[in-house]
């Protein structure tokens, strides 16, 4: 069984150490960093399969770090936010994070979210079964290589964005509710998922549409959900 490496980034040593204990009990190796700059250094030194990233840190905060990581890496990122408000969560998702956990967190919830993201990330490279290329006249998704092109140009998607787009494209024309999308992609019950799904939909549109405000492919069906136009 492959051992996964999780990079834990938080300026509070007690939190880093506590998370290390939780994850080590699950057979996961933990790499620790105290801020965003150290996190980037660690990321370039060794393989990392997932990042747990605090928002408020000295030198370089979590939002800036997420943005810089997303310039060339699609590793899953879970934001650790100390605020109950949606601001940090939404901003983190907007710059490329895949999920968030609010401090103080339940260890069981944290472990469940880490495992869920790791399963999705690894499955992108170990997808088994019949694969195909889905071509919707300007938008193409190759399930074998996990590559997406829009208007002839390659599109860089995060693991969550890819899974969402794959779901919609393999069911082109079918409308999925926000709760359907969340439960099929995140593989967990949908609870207050509206903002999370909406932010990822917006990010996908920005990457695949010529005019995201007047989308050609990814449509909203008001009061029902979203679909990919055939």
Beta strand residue intervals within 71-213, DSSP E = 77-81, 99-102, 133-135, 139-142, 147-150, 153-155
| Residue ranges, the chain, pLDDT below 50 | 1, 126-130
Angle, helices 36-45 vs 62-69, to 10°: value is 30
Q: Where in the chain do CATH 3.40.50.2300 domains reside?
A: 5-124
Q: Where in the chain do CATH 1.10.10.10 domains reside?
A: 133-228
The CATH T-level fold of domain 133-228 is Arc Repressor Mutant, subunit A (1.10.10)
Give the angle subtended at the CA of 99 by the CAs of 95 and 101, to the nearest 5°: 115
Give the angle subtended at the CA of 169 by the CAs of 228 and 182, to the nearest 5°: 85
- Contact 142/181 with Cβ under 8 angstroms? no
pLDDT score recorded for residue 206: 95
Task: Give me the residue label for tokens 């890819």.
Answer: 162
What sign for the dihedral angle of Cα 155, 69, 65, 50? positive
pLDDT score recorded for residue 15: 93
11 Cβ partners below 8 Å, 6+ apart?
34, 35, 54, 56, 57, 58
pLDDT score recorded for residue 129: 40
Per CATH, the architecture of 5-124 is what? Answer: 3-Layer(aba) Sandwich (3.40)
Beta strand residue intervals within 64-217, DSSP E = 77-81, 99-102, 133-135, 139-142, 147-150, 153-155
pLDDT score recorded for residue 2: 60
44 DSSP 8-state letter:
H
pLDDT score recorded for residue 126: 38
pLDDT score recorded for residue 146: 84
- How far does the chain reach from its first CA to its final CA, in angstroms? 41
């Amino acid at each position: 069984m492959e051992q996964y490496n999780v990079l834990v980034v938080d300026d509070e040593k007690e939190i880093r150490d506590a998370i290390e204990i939780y994850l080590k009990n699950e057979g996961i190796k933990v790499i620790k960093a105290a801020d965003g700059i150290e996190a980037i250094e660690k990321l370039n030194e060794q393989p990392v399969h997932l990042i747990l990233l605090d928002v408020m840190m000295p030198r370089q905060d979590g939002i800036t770090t997420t943005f810089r990581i997303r310039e060339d890496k699609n590793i899953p990122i879970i934001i650790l936010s100390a605020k109950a408000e949606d601001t940090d969560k939404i901003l983190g998702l907007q710059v490329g994070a895949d999920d968030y956990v609010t401090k103080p967190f339940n260890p069981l919830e944290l472990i469940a979210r880490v495992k869920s993201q790791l399963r999705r990330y690894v499955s992108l490279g170990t997808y088994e079964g019949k694969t195909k290329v889905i071509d919707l006249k300007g938008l193409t998704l190759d399930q074998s290589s996990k590559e997406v092109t829009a208007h002839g140009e390659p599109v860089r998607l995060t693991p969550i964005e890819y899974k969402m787009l794959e779901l919609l494209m393999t069911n082109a024309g079918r409308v999925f509710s926000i709760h359907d999308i969340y439960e099929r992609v995140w593989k967990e019950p949908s609870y207050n998922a509206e903002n999370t799904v909406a932010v990822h939909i917006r990010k996908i549109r920005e990457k695949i549409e010529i005019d995201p405000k007047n989308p050609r492919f990814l449509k909203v069906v008001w009061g029902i959900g979203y679909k990919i136009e055939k």
